[in-house]
Structure formats: C-alpha cells, structure tokens
Amino acid sequence: MPTRVPRIAPSEITPPEVYFSRRTLLAGALAAGVSTLARGADEGAPAGTVPLHYTANPRYAVSEAPNKYAEIAGYNNFYEFGTDKDDPSRNARAFRTQPWSVRVDGEAEVRGTFTLEDILRGQSLEERIYRFRCVEAWSLVVPWVGFPLASLLARFKPTSRARYVEFTTLYDPSRMPGQRAAVLDWPYVEGLRMDEAMHPLTLMVVGLYGVVLPNQDGAPLRLIVPWKYGFKSIKSIVKIRFSETQPRTTWNLAAPNEYGFHANVNPAVDHPRWSQATERRIGAPFLAARRPTLPFNGYADQVASLYRGMDLRRDF
C-alpha cells in the first residue's frame, strides 16, 4: 500500500496554547512503583497519576525552568493515536499498557521476549531535565524519569557486528486508532547507531514530572535522544533489534528529503517547508520573540564528536 505523508503547512500548525485546557489524563500502571520524590504535584500532574521513586541527576539539568505537565501531556506528536496535536491525549485514554513485553533479536548473545518487569529489573530510575525539540520548530524543557539506554542494551550483549539498534512501536489498530489510516507505513520504526545508543545522554524513559509516563507520551517505554529531533524518540516500544546495517526507519522512508536518518538538531539545515533556525518554547505567548535554535539542541559539547568528519548538511 503506498504511503501517504501528511502535508501540513507551518501556517496550519495550531498554537499549543489552544490545547492546554484539555487536561483529563490517565496514567498507565508500572510494575515498579514505590514511594516518590514529590514532584508531580508541583508540576500540576493530575490526581490519579502514579508516582515514581527516582533520584534527581543534576548532571543533566539545564538552566531553563521546566514546562508544566499539561504542556507535554496535552500537545503531542503520536500518530498512532491521531495526527492532530490533541488526538493522542483524547484517544489514548483507554490504552492498556499491562501486560507489556519487548522482543530482543538480531546481533546479540541474549535474545528473546522480556516482560516490562524484566526490562525494569535492576534499573535505578533517575530524573534528567532535558530540552526536547520537535521538527515543527517548537520546544520543551522536560524532567524525564528513566534510565540510561546503555545499561539496558549491555544486558543483551550485542556482538561485534552490531553497528545499529532498531526500535519498533506496538502495532495494534484495535488499540491505536491512528494506525487504521495509511498516513505512515506501520509499525513505526526508528534506529540509532550503536555509539549514539550507548551515549550517556540517551535515555529509556518510563515517566516524566515524577509520575508514570502518560499513555499519550509513549507509555510504558519510550526513548529520548535529546540532541535529535523528536521523531527519533520512538514511543511504546515492543521490539529492539541489533543490526549490522542501517535500519529502514519510518519517517526517513516516508519523506527522505525531509527526515534524515541522523536527525540531529541543526539550525543551518532547514526543513524543506520551514526554517529550523529559530524556535518557540511551548507555553510562551504565541507572539513572543522566537529564540535561536542551538546546534545539537544545546548538547554540542557532549555529542558533536560523534559526527566528526561527517557532512551534516548531507547526513542530516
């Protein structure tokens, strides 16, 4: 079936302020919850969210104040639940994340199907406050709760042939109504080079603002790669595959001239339909001055060396 890519002009992207009053949210259940550092309530997490026990990691803090809970939980790109920004928060309310399992295969010594409890066993949750930037020129500062992706991948003992790691989102149109439309070639697939995946900034996320990850934000398990555009941070992961060859990823296949495999935040490379040189912070007044986009989303000191010798205009 041919892929149809939604063509959304910048003028048609609805300001995030329109959606912030829609805050009826449901949190998934996570089989690892104990007592919490009380943060979720401070950020406006609604009643009924499940608190997490975590340790704040000041190494990954940023100077900017975090956005409010509603600003990440009510304005989402998660096409499995719809293409409008408020579709996921509405359509994911009944999405059940228990039981959940992740299949691991490919170039690794340890392969098989692992429950969410298996994945979380032995992982110490920590909070990291990251900038998070989507390709449509808007950004957030989010206190994510999770654990280093590297600590998980190491448990599967990737072989010397594993040069990439591929992730796949759940495919279940009965539970994810957006998958009933051919806007993308389902299931959603993303990937990283192994050095990117093993970098300490890369996080496997199970929560935000001190509570369990809302369904619309990728519960129960999602990726955060903070120096890349948001479409690289795949949600609701059910498969991890180690590969010798570069994965064929969803947006890169759908529109290769717009969505490169690397997808590093680069203000010098415009999206074909809009400039990426400046950004607007979610929650700021719509007419507020835009701010310059930072190379690698502000993490150049940590990650630029990964791309030494590459032409980042060609390898975008």
Question: What tens digit of pLDDT does each residue of 164-198 get?
Answer: 999 999 999 999 999 999 999 999 999 999 999 99
**Average pLDDT of the segment spanning 96-125:** 97
Cα dihedral 210, 215, 220, 221 sign = negative
Q: What's the pTM? A: 0.87
Q: Which residues pair with 164 in a beta bridge?
A: 193, 243
**Each residue of 227-270: pLDDT tens digit?**
999 999 999 999 999 999 999 999 999 999 999 999 999 999 99
Per-residue pLDDT band for 3 (boundaries 50, 70, 90) equals very low
* Confidence label for 4 from pLDDT (cuts 50, 70 and 90): very low
Topology of domain 10-307 in CATH is: Sulfite Oxidase; Chain A, domain 2 (3.90.420)
How high is the pLDDT of residue 139?
93
Any idea how long the chain is?
A: 316
Residue 14 has pLDDT above 50, yes or no: no
Please provide the average confidence, as pLDDT, over all residues in the chain: 87
